[in-house]
C-alpha cells in the first residue's frame, strides 16, 4: 500500500510539473498571444486597396507597404473610410470594417447633422477577433491621425449623448470601456489643423461645396468612376439613382443637407481647419493606456531675408504653389472663434504645417528616447525635404537631399511596435 501511495504521489507531482512547464513555456491552451495587428488609416481624399486602378495609398505606384509588412511577419490591414467625411464618421466606419456589422453613426449624431443613422454593412470583418485581449497598433497618415484619436476616445470613453439617445440599444462603440488600441503612430497629421483650409476657402469661397458638388458629384455620378474612387457618402444619400440623369443628380447633391450649417461641420474640411481641430482637441483626450508616436515632415526651407518658407527642390511639382502660399501666410490676430496663425506655422510639407504635426495642443510631448511610455506623445523627429505624400510613397521617386527610404521606416517601426509590452 505504501508503495502504491508513493507511486500515485509521484504521478501527481509529475503531472503538476508538466502543467507548470506548459504554462511557463508553451502558454495556456488556446491563449497563446498572437502578434498585434497593425492597422493603416488613410488621410483626406485617401482610398482603399481596390480603388485607383490598384495603386496603393500605402506605397504608391509599384509598392505596397501593407504587403511589405505582412511578408516581414507583421500582420497588417488597412481600412478605407470616407475620404471627405468627418473624423467621427470615419472613426465609426473604421470600427465596423475591423469588427464587422452595419455602420451605426449614432442616433444623436445622425439627428444633429441630418444624415442617415446607419451606413454600409461589413459581413467579412478585417479583424473578427479584435477585442481587449487582441489589440491593434494604428499607423495613420494625415487626417487619419485625427480619425484614430477619435476612434480610441470612443472605444474607451464612449458617448454620453448616444447613450442618452438610445439607452440599452446603444451601439457597442458608444458604450466605452474598451482598451483595444495599444499604440497610435501619426505621420504628417494636422493635430492642430492646417492653414491650407484657409487658402482653399480664399480661392473657392466654399471648399466643402467645391468637393461635394464637383469632384464627389462627378465620381459618384458615374458608375465607372465610382469603381475607381469611392467617396463613401452613403449616409448622405449621395449615390446616383439608376433612373436619374446627371443634371438631376447634381441638383440633388447641391440641395443635400451636407452643405448646410451646422451640417457642414460634419465634414473633413471643418475638422482639418485650425478652428475645427481646436474643437476636436477639446473633447478628444490623450489616453493614458496608449503609446503615442508622431513623425513630422517638411518640404520648405526658411528665407532669412523675408522670414518666409520656400519649397525645396525635392518638393513634388504639383504642390509647389501650395507650399509657397502656406510658407508666407500668417494671421496673428485671433478673432472670436478664430485661431491666430504666427510665423511658426509657415514651415510645411505642402499640405500640413509642420508645427501642427507633433501633438495636439496642450498634450504632454517629448522627443522619443527609445523608451516607450504610455499617455505621452513621443516625437520621432522631422523628415526635412519630404513633402506630404512622400512618407506614404506616393510622390517619392528618389530624394537627392535625403537617402532615407519610407519602407525602411515602416519595417523598423513595426519591429518597435511589436516589442511594446
247 is catalytic: no
Segment 40-96, tens digit of pLDDT: 999 999 999 999 888 999 999 889 999 999 999 999 999 999 999 999 999 999 999
Q: Cα Rg for the chain, rounded, in angstroms? A: 24
* Residue 383 confidence (pLDDT): 95
Phi-psi region of 54 (alpha: psi -120 to 50; beta: other; left: phi over 0): left
> Which cell is 263 given?
451640417
* Residue 408 confidence (pLDDT): 93
Q: If you average pLDDT over every residue of the chain, what do you get?
A: 87
Are the CB atoms for 327 and 348 separated by under 8 Å?
A: yes
Cα end-to-end distance, the chain, whole Å: 51
Instruction: Domain ranges for the chain, please list them.
Output: 37-195+265-419, 202-261
Is CATH 3.40.50.1820 the classification given to domain 37-195+265-419?
A: yes
308 closest CA partner among 326, 327, 325, 321: 327
pTM across the whole model? 0.88
* Residue 402 confidence (pLDDT): 78
Torsion of CA 305, 326, 80, 105, to 10 degrees: 130
388 is catalytic: yes
42 closest CA partner among 81, 100, 10: 81
Segment 320-367, tens digit of pLDDT: 999 999 999 999 987 788 999 999 999 999 999 999 999 999 999 999
Segment 255-304, tens digit of pLDDT: 777 766 566 789 898 999 999 999 999 999 999 999 999 999 999 999 99
3-state secondary structure the chain: CHHHHHHHHHHHHHHHHHHHHHHHHHCCCCCCCCCCEEEEECCCCCCCCCCHHHCECCCECCCCHHHHHHHCCCCEEEECCCCCECHHHHHHHHHHHHHCEEEECCHHHHHHHCCCCEEEEECCCCCCCCCCCCCEEEEEECHHHHHHHHHHHHHHHCCHHHHHHHHHHCCHHHHCCCCCEEEEEEECCCCCCCCHHHHHHHHHCCHHHHHHHHHHHHHHCCHHHHHHCCCCCHHHCCCCCCCCCHHHHHHHHHCCHHHCCCHHHCEHHHHHCHHHHHHHHHHCCCCCCCEEEEEEEECEEECCCCCCEEECCCCCHHHHHHHHHHHHCCECCCCCCCCCECHHHCCECCCCEHHHCCCCCCCCEEECCCCCCECCEEEEEEEECCCCCHHHCCCCCCCCCCCCCHHHHHHHHHHHHHHCC
Q: Of residues 349, 379, 387, 390, which has the active-site annotation?
A: 349
Segment 198-250, tens digit of pLDDT: 876 544 445 555 555 555 565 666 666 656 888 898 898 877 677 777 677 76
Q: Of residues 42, 109, 388, 413, which has the active-site annotation?
A: 388
Segment 158-190, tens digit of pLDDT: 999 999 999 999 999 999 999 999 999 999 999
5 is catalytic: no
Are the CB atoms for 110 and 151 separated by under 8 Å?
A: no
Q: Of residues 142, 183, 296, 350, which has the active-site annotation?
A: 142
Q: What are phi and psi of 227, to 5 degrees?
A: -75, -25
* Residue 288 confidence (pLDDT): 98
Q: Exposure of 250 by Cβ count < 10 A (0-12 exposed, 13-18 middle, 19+ buried)? A: middle
Segment 2-13, tens digit of pLDDT: 445 555 544 554
pLDDT band, residue 20 (cuts 50/70/90): very low
* Residue 215 confidence (pLDDT): 57
Amino acid at each position: 500500500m505504501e508503495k502504491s501511495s508513493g507511486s500515485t504521489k509521484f504521478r501527481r507531482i509529475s503531472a503538476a510539473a508538466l502543467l507548470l512547464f506548459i504554462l511557463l513555456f508553451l502558454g495556456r491552451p488556446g491563449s497563446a498571444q498572437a502578434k498585434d495587428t497593425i492597422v493603416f488609416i488613410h488621410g483626406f481624399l485617401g482610398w482603399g486597396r481596390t480603388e485607383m486602378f490598384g495603386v496603393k495609398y500605402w506605397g504608391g505606384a509599384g509598392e505596397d507597404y501593407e504587403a511589405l509588412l505582412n511578408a516581414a511577419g507583421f500582420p497588417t490591414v488597412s481600412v478605407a473610410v470616407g475620404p471627405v467625411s468627418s473624423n467621427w464618421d470615419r472613426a465609426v466606419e473604421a470600427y465596423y470594417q475591423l469588427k464587422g456589422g452595419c455602420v451605426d453613426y449614432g442616433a444623436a449624431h445622425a439627428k444633429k447633422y441630418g444624415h442617415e443613422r446607419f451606413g454600409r454593412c461589413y459581413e467579412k470583418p478585417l479583424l473578427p477577433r479584435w477585442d481587449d485581449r487582441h489589440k491593434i497598433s494604428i499607423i495613420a497618415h494625415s487626417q487619419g491621425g485625427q480619425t484614430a484619436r477619435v476612434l480610441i476616445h470612443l472605444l474607451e470613453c464612449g458617448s454620453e449623448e448616444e447613450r442618452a439617445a438610445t439607452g440599452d440599444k446603444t451601439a457597442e462603440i458608444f458604450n466605452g470601456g474598451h482598451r483595444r488600441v495599444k499604440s497610435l503612430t501619426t505621420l504628417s497629421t494636422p493635430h492642430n489643423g492646417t492653414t491650407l483650409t484657409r487658402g482653399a476657402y480664399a480661392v473657392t469661397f466654399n471648399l466643402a461645396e467645391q468637393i461635394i458638388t464637383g469632384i464627389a458629384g462627378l465620381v459618384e455620378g458615374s458608375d465607372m468612376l465610382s469603381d475607381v474612387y469611392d467617396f463613401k457618402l452613403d449616409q448622405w444619400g449621395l449615390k446616383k439613382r439608376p433612373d436619374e440623369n446627371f443634371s438631376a443628380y447634381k441638383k440633388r447633391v447641391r440641395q443635400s443637407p451636407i452643405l448646410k450649417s451646422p451640417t457642414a461641420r460634419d465634414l473633413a474640411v471643418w475638422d482639418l481647419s485650425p478652428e475645427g481641430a481646436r474643437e476636436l482637441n477639446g473633447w478628444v483626450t490623450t489616453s493614458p493606456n496608449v503609446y503615442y508616436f508622431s513623425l513630422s515632415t517638411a518640404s520648405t526651407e526658411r528665407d532669412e531675408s523675408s522670414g518666409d518658407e520656400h519649397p525645396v527642390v525635392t518638393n513634388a511639382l504639383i504642390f509647389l504653389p501650395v507650399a509657397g502660399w502656406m510658407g508666407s501666410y500668417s494671421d496673428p490676430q485671433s478673432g472670436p472663434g478664430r485661431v491666430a496663425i504666427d510665423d511658426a506655422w509657415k514651415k510645411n510639407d505642402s499640405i500640413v504645417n509642420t508645427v501642427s504635426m507633433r501633438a495636439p495642443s496642450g498634450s504632454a510631448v517629448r522627443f522619443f528616447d527609445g523608451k516607450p511610455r504610455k499617455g505621452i506623445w513621443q516625437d520621432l523627429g522631422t523628415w526635412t525635404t519630404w513633402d506630404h505624400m512622400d512618407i506614404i510613397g506616393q510622390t517619392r521617386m528618389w530624394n537627392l537631399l535625403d537617402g532615407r527610404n519610407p519602407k525602411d521606416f515602416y519595417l523598423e517601426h513595426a519591429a518597435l511596435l511589436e516589442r511594446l509590452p
